[in-house]
Amino acid sequence: MLVIDALGRKCPIPIIMLAERIREVPVGQIVAVLADDPAAHTDVPAWCRMKSQEFVWEETLARGGWGFHIRRMY
């Protein structure tokens, strides 16, 4: 699983990082984006819908922020 650490970065940087790197994993695999900007709660799922990628789940990180898990669909 690819983990993109965008902690401390404001949106849209986490989305830009995801868009640049999602092709590093095979189709069907998961990418995790770590972010602590509250805008990521809406931006990451919206990007997934726009790009036909699957938003799988969100987790709260113990150190603060969230992990957004996205399955590469194509």
pLDDT digits 0-9 by tens, 54-68:
999 999 999 999 999
| Run of H or E including 58 | strand 54-60
Confidence of residue 30 (pLDDT cuts 50, 70, 90): very high
Q: Where do we find the tokens 């799922």?
A: 45
Task: State the CATH class of domain 2-71.
Answer: alpha beta
Pairing outcome for strands 30-35 and 2-5? parallel
Percent of the chain with pLDDT over 90: 100
Q: Which residues are catalytic?
A: 11
Chain-wide mean pLDDT for the chain?
97
